[in-house]
Amino acid sequence: MKANPIVGQGTPLHQWQRSSQLAQLAEIDILQLVPEGARAVIIAPHPDDEVLGCGGFLQMLATAGRPMQLISVTDGSASHPGSASWPVERLSTVRPQESVEALRRLGLPLHSLKWLRGGFADSQVAAREMELCDFIERYLRPADVVFTTWREDGHCDHEAVGRASAEAAQRVGATLYELPVWTWHWASPEDCAVPWDRARKILLSPHLVARKRHAIHAFASQLEGDPQIGLPPVLAPHVVDRLLQPFEVVFI
């Protein structure tokens, strides 16, 4: 993976919409991936990755009554480096609150959703990867179905969390699926670096996509940059649009 591929405007949405790779991906039912009796464990590097990566099928799991465990590895406090408007102290409080509101907008049962915050330092997860692996392992069961960011997603935290989650799942015998998030930014539709042979599509209805969009707009901090220091928003409109296609992709 090239150094810091998350730069510039990224791949235009229309290229993904015309992609033959995406068009021919096999479809899969999320309730087949998380069968009755299993628990879905979503491991998010930052508060918002759980919605960006799988906000559509989380709604489907909630409707089906599947139990869920969410693990937020960091509090996402490094998203606005150098900003006086969004300092680390403010972000460490605000970003988890934004996730609560986003999950409420998705219709998830917050009263029964188990949620752990790892407290690892944003953008520094790789330095404590083995510790993270041990942390995750403590909360996994053999019958769990784990969803986390792809090990080559392009963001250092996404990749470290993907690796640690994979190792922890293997230790306990849980099933692991990976989610592309920043991949949609740096990859091209026919990019051979993306494991298309492992990719499957989970189709989303317009209603599910609309609720996912509404949930993403709960992340006010990520929708705002800091013009005073020339910092663009993390979730610029073109970034959000790429994450709101009528399907979500998992690597099996």
- Is pLDDT above 50 for 169? yes
Give 13-47 pLDDT, tens digit per residue.
999 999 999 999 999 999 999 999 999 999 999 99
- Determine the pLDDT at residue 3: 56
State the residue for tokens 């399907």. Answer: 247
- Determine the pLDDT at residue 2: 47
Mean pLDDT, residues 92-113 taken together: 96
- Nearest C-alpha neighbor of 58 from the set 115, 109, 94, 22: 109
CA distance 51 to 53: 6
Mean pLDDT, residues 182-196 taken together: 96
- Is pLDDT above 80 for 110? yes
Mean pLDDT, residues 237-244 taken together: 97
Q: Residue ranges of the domains in the chain? A: 13-28+35-77+87-251
For residues 123 and 78, the answer to whether their CB atoms sit within 8 Å is yes
Burial class (CB in 10 A: 0-12, 13-18, 19+), 208: buried
13-28+35-77+87-251 CATH: 3.40.50.10320
The dihedrals phi and psi of 247, each to the nearest 5 degrees, come to -165, 160
Mean pLDDT, residues 201-212 taken together: 98
- Determine the pLDDT at residue 6: 85
- Is pLDDT above 90 for 183? yes
What average pLDDT does the chain have? 96
- Determine the pLDDT at residue 5: 82
Q: What percent of the chain has pLDDT over 70?
A: 98
Give 52-100 pLDDT, tens digit per residue.
999 999 999 999 999 999 999 999 999 999 999 999 999 999 999 999 9
Mean pLDDT, residues 2-19 taken together: 88
- Nearest C-alpha neighbor of 143 from the set 50, 71, 35: 35
Residue 227, Ramachandran bin (φ over 0: left; ψ between -120 and 50: alpha; else beta): alpha
